[in-house]
Amino acid sequence: MRNLFSLLILAILSFVSPAMAETISGTASVIDGDTVEIHGRRIRLNAMDAIESRQRCTLPDGKSWNCGRDASFALADKIGRSPLSCSVVDIDRYGRAVAICRLRGEDVGGWMVENGWAVAYRRYGTQYVAAEDRARKARRGIWASRFVMPWDWRRGVR
């Protein structure tokens, strides 16, 4: 019975990608509101999608603002020069690590969504849906304006 259990564990572990067990740690450079770079490796924050760097939002008074740039700045200000610890969960089609990154134990992807600088990317996970709802209700960040969802903006909806 013990041998059967051992074989079962080995079979399960053989399906787990080595990248998914990886942790990348160090000082991060912010590429945009949902991507950082540590030691030359690009890391996409898991299950959230930030407004694109060149994307603009419209305030209720009709004024346009560079919400994408501000989302990137918000992440950069949050991280500063403090080290991140990123637990890789996948590799995306561009070869980037997809990870949950933590700053002193706090999930920075969750922080971005909670503060209205990103939205929950339900296609890849639902862990930030409640944070998005709170940000929307409080009209934080992008939720204080009209905007196009980042996945639509990338497809050319402007």
Complete domains list, the chain, with CATH: 17-146 (2.40.50.90)
Place of tokens 């849906």: 129
pLDDT for 15:
46
Q: Which two tokens stand for residue 129?
A: 């849906």
pTM for the model: 0.86
CB 143 within 8 A of CB 116: yes
Distances (CA, A) of 89 to 2, 8, 42, 95: 30, 22, 14, 13
pLDDT for 4:
45
Q: Which residues of the chain have pLDDT under 70?
A: 1-20
Q: Tens digit of pLDDT for each residue in 4-17?
A: 444 444 444 444 44
pLDDT for 32:
96
C-alpha–C-alpha distance, residues 106 and 126, integer Å: 18
